[in-house]
Amino acid sequence: MTNTESDNSREWAAQAYALLKKRQEEQKQELEKKEEQKQELEKKEEQKQELIDIPNKQNIAEPELGEFDDNFTWSAMVLASQGKKINQISIDEIDWLTKLRKGLEETRKGFVTELLDKLGDDPLTPESLDDLETLLIRADVGIDSTDKVISSLRTKLNEEVVGGEAGIKFLKRELKLIIDKPIKNSGSDLLVPQKGKLNVWLLVGVNGVGKTTTLGKLAYLSSKSNYKTLIAAADTFRAAAVEQLKVWGDRSNVEVISNQSKNADPAAVVFDAINSAKKRNVELLLVDTAGRLQTKNNLMDELAKIKKIIDKKVPDAIVESLLVLDASQGQNGLKQAKSFAKSADLSGAIITKLDGTSRGGVSLAVSEEVNLPIRFIGAGEGIKDLRPFNSYEFVEAMLADK
Ligand SMILES: Nc1nc2c(ncn2[C@@H]2O[C@H](COP(=O)(O)OP(=O)(O)OP(=O)(O)O)[C@@H](O)[C@H]2O)c(=O)[nH]1
Ligand SMILES: [Mg+2]
């Protein structure tokens, strides 16, 4: 970025910040006014014990506008470069991008920082490409993706002189192409439930990767977006699984269909859930499944059985089998993805735990080597810490230069 560009960006971000700050203050005042009115009314009608609802007040706290700092400026710029206007920016989006950028800090350290240190302002050389290769592999980007990127850069270097900054720009574009390929192949940029139909999303993956947590966050996103949502607790393997899901269901007001009896059949729970879903015109049924290793055949058979039930009972349902992957497991996660992709008919991936791992690059390996579109990413344990995947934002956050 040139100095003038950077001044303009800061100016732009400052305007966006001022606008958001004003909006937040207005909202606060509005809320305070409502709170005062409510207290007055409560006083007046104490005998009647009537509770007045404040529509803006929710159980789930709205994020607060933080400082006007680097994080804000960067997040605002990422939104601006995607065509957002100043008055279209929300605190929620800024909050998420800040989280994503912070989450990918470890992946970025020893990667971009090191690369920029090495490059300085000098043009790229074959030696700096060797360094880049090592750094990409170390960030768990995977051998295939790394080879692809390095060979395109090499071709470019043979044709022209490439400065450090232009090199990073080119790198971002190449990485984005890799991530976008399976998304483009899938025919839809964004995974959203189809209105007026029953959509069934199965969350699968090995133990502890974050399936149940992700399902809880999805239930929140879905009900907030006004889809009629239902949860099926088909992890009958782990004793506490149903309770864990009910907590998530309560948080977003989504009902959980379960069978508390010991050794309940997961497919039977899904059977019950489909019946309820049909009765209530549910649009999105989220199915939590037990953590399993792809080597455990009986568990993999169970998944097949669940799918069969769905196909039989609701043949026109739109079924998505989403593999949940823990980014902090790096190449190990990739191995799981490959085996799962072989035995379970997967349609997408969800990458979790991007906060605080140095292995966020594994997302690229999943796209290139397993050919799965990444549909959502999670960066934290909170209900709002999951977003639909946006490859531009992801690559910008991974290669942010500050
Ligand atoms: N930091 C962080 N922790 C996460 C994230 N997603 C899930 N977790 C944590 O990971 C742990 C395991 O999450 P679960 O959702 O229970 O994982 P699971 O895949 O359902 O586990 P099993 O049902 O036992 O197979 C919990 O402590 C979660 O809070 C994330 O995006 N970031
Ligand atoms: Mg679970």
Residue 43 has what pLDDT? 74
Task: Kindly state the DSSP code that residue 358 receives in the 8-state scheme.
Answer: S
Is 355 near ligand 1, meaning CB less than 6 Å away? yes
Residue 45 has what pLDDT? 60
Task: Kindly state the DSSP code that residue 87 receives in the 8-state scheme.
Answer: G
Give me the phi and psi of 320, to 5 degrees please.
Answer: -120, 130
Is 110 near ligand 1, meaning CB less than 6 Å away? no
Q: Which ligand is nearest to the CA of 242?
A: 2
CB 298 within 8 A of CB 267: no
Task: Look up residue 26 and give its amino acid.
Answer: E
Which residue from 388, 402, 38, 340 is spatially nearest to 205, judged by alpha carbons?
340
Q: Which ligand is nearest to the CA of 216?
A: 1
Is 380 near ligand 1, meaning CB less than 6 Å away? yes
Residue from 105, 213, 236, 247 to probe ligand 1 pocket by mutation (most atoms less than 8 Å from CB): 213
Residue 264 has what pLDDT? 85
Is 209 near ligand 1, meaning CB less than 6 Å away? yes
Look at residue 352 and give its three-state secondary structure. Answer: strand
Residue 150 has what pLDDT? 92
Could you read off the pLDDT tens digit of each residue along the chain, which spans 402 residues? 566 666 778 888 999 999 999 988 888 888 888 888 888 877 766 544 433 333 333 356 677 888 888 888 888 988 998 888 888 888 888 989 988 998 888 888 766 777 767 666 678 888 888 888 888 888 888 899 999 999 998 998 888 888 877 888 888 999 999 999 999 999 999 999 999 999 999 999 988 999 999 999 999 999 999 999 999 999 988 878 899 999 999 999 999 999 877 778 899 999 999 999 999 999 999 999 988 665 566 777 888 899 999 999 999 999 999 999 999 998 888 888 888 887 778 999 999 999 878 888 889 999 999 999 999 999 999 999 999 999 999 999 988 865
Give distance in angstroms: CA of 327 to centre of ligand 1: 12
Query: What CA–CA distance (Å, rounded) separates 116 from 96?
Result: 26
pTM: 0.86
Supply 20's token pair.
Answer: 């958001």
Residue from 100, 247, 381 to probe ligand 1 pocket by mutation (most atoms less than 8 Å from CB): 381
Is 321 near ligand 1, meaning CB less than 6 Å away? no
Residue 214 has what pLDDT? 97
Is 207 near ligand 1, meaning CB less than 6 Å away? yes
Is 213 near ligand 1, meaning CB less than 6 Å away? yes
